[in-house]
Structure formats: C-alpha cells, structure tokens
Amino acid sequence: MKKISILGSSGSIGKSTLDVVRKHPDRFKISGLAANQRIDDLIEQAHEFRPTIVSVGNRELARKVKAQVDDSVMVCYGEKGLIDVACCEEADLVMNSVTGATGIIPTIKALHAGKDVAIANKETLVAAGCVVTKLAKEKGCKLIPVDSEHSAIYQCLNGESRDQLSKLIITASGGAFRDLTKQEMTGLRASDALKHPNWSMGEKITIDCATLMNKGFEVIEAHWLFEVPYEQIEVLIHRQSVIHSMVEFVDGSIIAQMGMPDMRVPIQYALEYPNRLKSDYPKLDLSLISQLNFEKPDMARFPCLSYAFEAGKQGGTMPAVLNAANEVVNFSFRRNEACFSDFEKILDEVLSSHHNIQNPQLEDILHADAWAREKAELLIKRQS
C-alpha cells in the first residue's frame, strides 16, 4: 500500500486523485488531506478516506472541521497545516495539487522530509524550479510530473538515452480564444475565457490556457523537469488535445503519448510510477477522430507565451516574477477588475522593471515573488 497525502484535495486534480485512489483500494491509502476554503468537500473526503491528518485555510474553519470528523483525525490550518500534511510521517508520496506559488514551501518541506512528490502544481516549478529540482536530487526523492504534457514526455522518454533527444514538442489546445483575432479578444471577460475547449479544470489554470500562459509555464516546467534547454522546446497547437506531447530524437523519430483528455490517467501513472494499473476510464477510439490538426502558435495574439520563453531564458528570479504578476492579473481578471489586455500590458511592465537575480536562493525567489505581486497590484489599482 502506498500512502498518499494530497495538498489541494478539494480541487479538480485533488478530486481526480481521490477517484484514482477510490478505484484502487488495494494499492493506495490516504494519509493526509489539505484544502483551503471548501471544508464541506474536505469533511466528506475525510469520512470516506479516513486520513490521519487534515488541514484547512484558517483556525475558524479548522474548528468547524474538528467538530465533524472522527476524534482521531488531527486537524490543522494555514500555511503550517499544509506543511504538516505534506510532511506527515505516514506519507510515502505527496500529491501537490494546490494552485499558485503557495505550493513552493510545502514541496520543499516534503522533499526535506524525504517524500516523493507528484507535482501538479506547476507554479512551484516555474518560480522555484532551480531550487526544487536541486533539492530533490540531493535528497534522492522523485519529482514525478502530473501535468498531462509532462507525464506524456516522461512516458516518451522511458528507456531512451537522453543524449539522443533532439527536442520536446509540447502540445496546446489553444485555449478558449484560439480562433479569435486580437481585436476580438479585447472586450472578453473571465466567463468567456473559462470555456476551455477540451479540459475541465480549476478556474486559474483555465484562464491561463486562454492567454497561453499555461503553455508558457509548461515550457519552463519542462526545462526543469527534463533538463532540456529552451532552444530544444517547441510548442505546437493541437486543437483535439489527444496527443498530450511528443519527443523528437536525433534520428528524426518522434514518439507521442496519446489518450483521452482525462487527468486520471497521468495522475494514476504518477501514483504508481513506473508501473501501470488497469483502468476503466473511457478509452481513446481513433476511428472516431476524423483528423488531428497541428499549427504553430501565434505569439502576436498570445504574447504571454513569448514572455514565458523570454523569462525562462533569462532565468534567475525572472520566472518567479512572471508567475507572481500573472497570479495577480489572473485573480483580478476573474473578479472583473482587470481586462484581458492587462495580461500583456501589466506583465510586460512588471517584467521589464525587475532587477533579475541569477542563481537565486529560495529567499531571493520569495522576495521577487512578493515584489512582483505588489507591483502588479499597484498597476491594476492605478489604471482603474
């Protein structure tokens, strides 16, 4: 039995992870669960999966949870609670599926505690990839990709020699605005951006898909996970989201991983890696798909993708700044306090006024993150 702690159990990835666990009671057991605000979901999960520790966003919510779960369950809260769940003694593997830079410290603490981490929380790798990947190596812990593209690449690289890799090809649906001109995108709101063509996910990532920032983050994520230079990472729009990503080798062969757009597949692969378990998830029937389309991304319509390539290449604290400023604009956009064109404008302004620090320590990253949030918030306030 592998014991798993889930950070972000009330979210989209968290719930899909619990569904995988539910389907394989002989293989997985839940040791800890952490949510933030959605305590009703967490309480229900605690009743079903019987973790030894749970955590929620604050003390008041923890008090409510305590009154409704078994006495034996330890109930924590806040930043420390998230860390306590990540480091709980029982856990063999931590699924990090919180959103945003909140995931950085719990990932680091889990690795320090010797846990393998299944990493869905891409913002941790974007902002602190240098620190986290180095630490995982030092501690001999696995950092297993959950993001569908990175799981695909992980599978394509299985058994291959790294020096024969020629490039990674990360596929992208193109997001909700893929068929619109730049002009048509200006007036659009969060409710429009939330209509992802292929995947059902949390709101923050779905908005990031509409700006192609999600794809930009995935480029940086791939750079750190697979130690591949940015010049060897390509993005390809593939509107069906059936090929989850590809790897090209020096002989010109391309290996692709395919499947239905269902996150339970990469999640299950991460939980059971390097083995595969039987599943009853809907299978891909290629005879029902009349065509697979591919096109180059349009950086002029989607400047966030080029910001990410640029920030990744500059390295240092630049990706942390990009991530933090994006979190602020994304949040404001969802509250109708920023418009779609603010992603381009505000991120450009924050990035160009940042004094980059190369080879950053964790403190430099956290400091850059805080600086970028403040700067982006100020810019949004100023223009409204």
Ligand X SMILES: CC(=O)[C@@H](O)[C@H](O)COP(=O)(O)O
Ligand Y SMILES: NC(=O)C1=CN([C@@H]2O[C@H](COP(=O)(O)OP(=O)(O)OC[C@H]3O[C@@H](n4cnc5c(N)ncnc54)[C@H](OP(=O)(O)O)[C@@H]3O)[C@@H](O)[C@H]2O)C=CC1
Q: Which residues are annotated as a binding site for NADPH?
A: 11-13, 121, 123, 202
- Residue 262, interface with Mn ion (CB under 5 A)? no
Query: Judged by CB under 5 A, how many residues of this single chain contact Mn ion?
Result: 3
23 to 42, contacts with ligand Y by CB under 6 A? 34-38
- Residue 121, interface with ligand Y (CB under 6 A)? yes
Contact stretch for ligand Y (CB under 6 A) within 95-103, 303-311, 316-324, 342-350: 95-103
Q: Which does 361 bind (CB under 5 to 8 A by kind): ligand Y, Mn ion, ligand X, none?
A: none
Report the residue number, 199 or 249, with the smaller CB distance to ligand Y.
199
Closest by Cα among 232, 238, 254, 245 to 170: 245
Smallest separation (angstroms) from ligand X to the CB of 208 = 8
Report the residue number, 279 or 356, with the smaller CB distance to ligand Y.
279
Report the residue number, 204 or 367, with the smaller CB distance to ligand Y.
204
Contact stretch for ligand Y (CB under 6 A) within 12-20, 60-68, 136-144, 163-171: 12-20
Among 215, 239, 264, 354, binds ligand X (CB under 6 A): 215
CA distance 55 to 69: 12
Smallest separation (angstroms) from ligand Y to the CB of 373 = 14
Closest residue to ligand Y using C-beta atoms: 11
Report the residue number, 57 or 145, with the smaller CB distance to Mn ion.
145
- Residue 263, interface with ligand Y (CB under 6 A)? yes
Report the residue number, 81 or 175, with the smaller CB distance to ligand X.
175
- Residue 172, interface with ligand X (CB under 6 A)? yes
Bond from prior residue into 319 cis (ω within 30 degrees of 0): no
- Residue 205, interface with ligand Y (CB under 6 A)? yes
Residues 368 and 357 sit within 8 Å (Cβ to Cβ): yes
- Residue 268, interface with ligand Y (CB under 6 A)? no
3-state secondary structure the chain: CEEEEEECCCCHHHHHHHHHHHHCCCCEEEEEEECCCCHHHHHHHHHHHCCCEEEECCHHHHHHHHCCCCCCCEEEEHHHHHHHHHHCCCCCEEEECCCCHHHHHHHHHHHHCCCEEEECCHHHHHHHHHHHHHHHHHHCCCEEECCHHHHHHHHHHCCCCHHHEEEEEEEECCCCCCCCCHHHHCCCCHHHHCCCCCCCCCHHHHHHHHHCHHHHHHHHHHHHHHCCCHHHEEEEECCCCCEEEEEEECCCCEEEEECCCCCHHHHHHHHHCCCCCCCCCCCCCHHHCCCCCCECCCCCCCHHHHHHHHHHHHCCCHHHHHHHHHHHHHHHHHCCCCCCHHHHHHHHHHHHCCCCCCCCCHHHHHHHHHHHHHHHHHHHHHHC
Residues 53 and 41 sit within 8 Å (Cβ to Cβ): no
Contact stretch for ligand X (CB under 6 A) within 141-149, 280-288, 310-318, 376-384: 141-149
136 to 175, contacts with Mn ion by CB under 5 A? 147-149
Smallest separation (angstroms) from Mn ion to the CB of 361 = 28
- Residue 97, interface with ligand X (CB under 6 A)? no
Contact stretch for ligand X (CB under 6 A) within 87-95, 143-151, 228-236, 303-311: 143-151
Q: Interface residues with ligand X (CB under 6 A)?
A: 147-149, 172-173, 175, 199, 205, 209, 214-215, 241, 263
Q: Interface residues with ligand Y (CB under 6 A)?
A: 8-14, 34-38, 57, 82, 97-99, 102, 120-123, 147, 199, 201-202, 204-205, 263
